Chain A
Amino acid sequence: MRRDLVDPIRFAPILVMAIVFLLVAMAFFVSIGKPPVRTLLDMVLFAAGDAYSLSETLVKTAPILLCALATIVPARLGLVSVGAEGQLFVGAIFGTAVVLAFPNTPAAILLPSMLLAGMIGGALWGFIPGILRGRLDANETIVTLLLNYVGVLLVNALVFGPWKDPRNLGWPATVSFPLAATLSGFFGTRAHLGLVFGILAAIGFGVLFAISRWGRELAVLKGNAKVGQMIGLSFGRQAMLVMSLGGALGGLAGICEVAAIQGRLQPGISVGYGLTGFLVAWLSGHNPVVAIVVSVLIGGLIAAGDSLQLYAKVPAASAIILQGLLFATALAVGGLAQRWKAARG
Chain B
Amino acid sequence: MLGSWIAAALRSATPLLVVMVGETLTQRTGVINLGIEGEMLMGACCGFAAAVITGNPLLGLLAGAAAGAALSTVHAGLVLGARANQISCGLAVWMIGLGLTSYFGRTYVGGQVSPILPIGAYLPNAPAFVRGALDQITATAPFAIVLAIAAGVWLYRTRTGLNWRTVGESAEVARALGIRPTWVRFQSIVLGGLLAGLGGAILSVDYTQTWAQDITKGKGLVAVGLVIVARWNPYLAIPVALLFGLSETSVLKLQAGGMAISPSLLATLPYLFAIGVVVFAQAQGRRNAAMPADLTAIFRTR
CB distance from B290 to the nearest CB of A (A): 14
Q: Is B63 an interface residue (CB 8 A)?
A: no
8 additional contacts, CB 8 Å, given A136-B279, A137-B283?
A: A79-B301, A153-B264, A156-B262, A156-B264, A157-B268, A321-B96, A324-B97, A338-B83
What are 29 of the A-B contact pairs (CB < 8 Å)? Answer: A132-B279, A136-B279, A138-B278, A138-B279, A142-B221, A142-B225, A142-B278, A146-B218, A147-B275, A153-B265, A154-B268, A160-B262, A221-B302, A275-B94, A279-B95, A317-B100, A320-B102, A321-B95, A324-B95, A327-B91, A327-B95, A328-B74, A331-B82, A332-B77, A334-B82, A335-B81, A335-B83, A335-B84, A339-B83
Chain A residues positioned under 8 Å from B77 (CB to CB): 332
Whether the Cβ atoms of B82 and A321 lie closer than 8 Å is no
Are B78 and A331 closer than 8 Å at their CB atoms? yes
- Known pairs A139-B228, A146-B271; A324 contacts B82 (CB<8 A): no
User: A146-B274, A153-B264 are contacts. A138–B99 as well, Cβ < 8 Å?
Assistant: no
- Give A321's nearest chain B residue, CB to CB: B99
B246 contacts the other chain (CB 8 A): no
A324-B95, A327-B88 in contact; A146/B275 too (CB < 8 A)? yes
Chain A residues in 8 Å Cβ range of B157? none
Q: Tell me the minimal C-beta distance from A318 to chain B in angstroms.
A: 6
Among the listed B83, B93, B268, which residue makes an inter-chain contact with A150, where contact means beta carbons less than 8 Å apart?
A: B268
The number of residue pairs between A and B whose CB atoms lie closer than 8 Å in the complex comes to 154
Indicate if A125 sits at the interface (CB-CB under 8 A).
Answer: no
B85 at interface by CB-CB < 8 Å: yes
Contact residues, A251-303 vs B (CB, 8 A): 275, 278-279, 282
> How many of chain B's residues touch chain A, expressed as a range?
35 or more
**Interface residues in A144-158 (C-beta closer than 8 Å to B):** 145-150, 153-154, 156-157
Whether B122 sits at the interface, judged by CB under 8 Å, is no
Task: Mark each residue of chain A from 87 to 129: 1 if its CB lies under 8 Å from any CB of chain B, else 0.
Answer: 0000000000000000000000000000000000000000000
B88: chain A residues within 8 A (beta carbon): 282, 327, 331
B285 at the interface (CB under 8 A from A): yes
A175 part of interface (Cβ distance < 8 Å)? no
Chain A residues near B91 (CB-CB < 8 A): 82, 275, 278-279, 327
State the CA gap A73–B85 with chains docked (Å): 18
Look across to chain A and name the residue whose beta carbon is closest to the beta carbon of B301: A78
- B171 vs chain A, min Cβ distance (A): 16
Tell me the complex Cα distance, A300–B278, Å. 38
Asked if B271 and A80 sit within 8 Å, CB to CB, the answer is no
Q: Are A331 and B89 in contact (CB under 8 A)?
A: yes
A200 vs B278: C-alpha distance in the bound complex, in angstroms? 37
Q: Which residues of B contact A153 (CB under 8 A)?
A: 264-265, 267-268, 271
A189 within 8 A of B: no
Complex A-B, nearest 10 residue pairs according to Cβ-Cβ distance, in ascending order? A335-B82, A324-B95, A321-B99, A320-B99, A324-B96, A317-B102, A335-B84, A327-B92, A157-B264, A156-B264
Chief secondary structure at chain A's binding surface: helix
A136 CA to B284 CA in the complex, in Å? Answer: 9
**Smallest CB gap from B89: residue in A:** A331
A229 vs chain B, min Cβ distance (A): 11
User: Are A332 and B264 in contact, with the CB atoms below 8 A?
Assistant: no
Q: Which residues of A contact B34 (CB under 8 A)?
A: 141, 145
Is A145 touching B218 in the complex (CB atoms < 8 A)? Answer: yes
What residues on A are CB-neighbors of B87 within 8 Å? 80, 141
In the complex, whether B54 has a CB less than 8 A from a CB of chain A is no
B282 contacts the other chain (CB 8 A): yes
Question: Does chain B have a CB within 8 A of A14?
Answer: no
Given A324-B96, A328-B96, decide whether A149 and B217 contact each other with a Cβ distance below 8 A.
yes
Complex CA–CA separation, A79 to B279 (angstroms): 16
Q: Mark B270-291, 1 if CB is under 8 A from A, else 0.
A: 0110110011001101000000
B98 sits at the interface (CB 8 A): yes
Q: Whole-angstrom distance between the alpha carbons of A141 and B92 in the complex? A: 15
Contact A325 B96 (CB under 8 A): yes
* Cβ-closest chain A residue relative to B74: A328
CB distance from A277 to the nearest CB of B (A): 11
What's the Cα separation between A150 and B103 when bound, in Å? Answer: 25
CB-defined interface of A212-228 with B at 8 Å, one 1/0 digit per residue?
00000000011011000
Determine whether the beta carbon of B302 is less than 8 Å from that of A78. Answer: yes
Chain B residues contacting A154 (CB-CB under 8 Å) are 264-265, 268
In the complex, residue of chain A having the shortest beta-carbon distance to the beta carbon of B281: A138
Complex formed: what's the CA distance from A93 to B83 in Å? 40
A260–B95 Cα gap in the complex (Å)? 27
Asked if A336 contacts B82 (CB within 8 A), the reply is: yes
A318 neighbours in B (Cβ, 8 Å): 99, 103
B285 touches A137 (CB 8 A): yes
In the complex, whether B175 has a CB less than 8 A from a CB of chain A is no
A157 in contact with B221 (CB, 8 Å): no
**B267, closest chain A residue (CB):** A153
User: Is A22 located at the chain interface by the 8 A CB criterion?
Assistant: no
Shortest distance between the CB of A113 and any CB in chain B (Å):
26
Instruction: For the complex, give the distance between the alpha carbons of A288 and B88 in Å.
Output: 18
Q: Which residues of B contact A148 (CB under 8 A)?
A: 218
Interface: B154 (CB within 8 A): no
A143 touches B278 (CB 8 A): yes
Interface residues in B209-252 (C-beta closer than 8 Å to A): 217-218, 221-222, 224-225, 228
Q: Give 1 or 0 for each of A154-170: 1 = CB within 8 Å of chain B CB.
A: 10110011000000000
| Interface status of B253 (Cβ within 8 A of chain A) | no
